[in-house]
Structure 1
């Protein structure tokens, strides 16, 4: 079947929360010791992991974890707990969390513009589908990418999370495209790969630092017969 639409995940796929050493430079643990680089890296990983539980939680917080991308209040509650269990003090956790949910702090992958602009230029529909508890549209707007996106489907607005087929179906219906004519691109085999249950194609990309993954999106498209580089 011919691909008529491409659906993209957000975190680790089109954008990445890059580790900024200044965010954690003055942070200390409960004993007043500065966090080393390994601890800082692990904290950022825990805040952006696409799936899988990152720390053990009580029953109360377990519920919040499982439903974090459906309710902003649960999202902030459980991630502040994750940061606390990762060694940060309350004020530090609150400051870091504020950065995590700030769209201005997210960096697009180097080939994101080429991929989105190229798809639009070829007349293909573009959708963004994310398990998320905050609005990511400003991140796309800040980098001039919003004009290439036909539809945004965000879990906290829809009441469903990947890999639930319902949220993929919602985006497909809004794009007006049948599953067999769509490609899902994401960094999670578990969550994003759920699109295959409906008959979509799926391309996995690695959530590497942006300087290490310069053409992952273009490569994923090319491997599914969509070459967009010739648009420039």
Structure 2
């Protein structure tokens, strides 16, 4: 196995997770005017953060927005507000309030081992990149937790005009890190999107996008299995 000299990490479900606060849904009601139960709240959060799965039926206009959401912040907002409406949130102001949480970097929680893994990988002289299909700037999330110092490059789809699994976005990340595909490990929670790195010859490690309280050492385990740490 080639020596790993660079690691690319996905963001959502890999390094960070959007863990909702119960207060976000205070006063949120369904089409019948009833508060959302715990199961409905959990499903709503899953739909807001699922990397590739579309959980509602959309018309052609919003389906186009869905497929291009991570390239254009305007399309991202448009399709998620529609998704929330079709998921049982009929009041526009409620949908807008929930959407604002999704795109607020300070609302995202790092996985318990994310800080230690980023620090140890960087300290070992291994280049670190964050490669995300996303339509808002996630750098403030890293800055809030003091993790930005361990990231050499952020490659965000809406900034570079390409999304995973398109090989182009992985090439951009590798070029910015000055890394070779054969010596790069991609870590992510989506076989479909993040696993696309294998098309270029990168190694790939899949992690479970479980709640942060349940996945305490998933990143550490993934890197140890690839002899990075």
The CA deviation at 1:35 is: 0.8
SS in 1 for 2:70: coil
Instruction: Return the match for 2:170 from 168, 171, 187.
Output: 168
3-state SS of paired residue (1:51): coil
- Counterparts of 2:3 and 2:31 in 1: how far apart (Å)? 56
> Normalized against structure 2, the TM-score is what?
0.98
Q: Hey, what does 1:33 align to over in structure 2? A: 34
1:49 aligned onto 2:50? yes
How far 1:26 sits from its partner (Å)? Answer: 1.7
1:135 counterpart residue number: 137
Aligned residues: 227
Alignment map for 1:81-230 (pairs within 5 Å): 81-88=82-89, 89-227=91-229
* Alignment partners' CA distance in 2, 1:160 and 1:153: 10
| Cα deviation digits, residues 17-66 of structure 1 (max 9, x gap) | 00211111321112211111111111100000011212110000010000
- Partner of residue 71, structure 2: 70
Helix, strand or coil: the match of 1:152?
strand
SS at match of 1:67: helix
SS at match of 1:203: strand
- For structure 1, which runs of at least 5 residues remain unmatched after alignment? 228-232
- Partner SS, residue 8 of structure 2: strand
Runs of 4+ aligned residues of structure 1 deviating over 2 Å after TM superposition are none
Pairwise CA distance, 1:4: 0.2
The CA RMSD measured in Å over matched residues stands at: 0.6
Write the distance in 2 (CA, Å) between the matches of 1:223 and 1:173: 25
- 2-side partners of 1:33 and 1:53: how far apart? 25
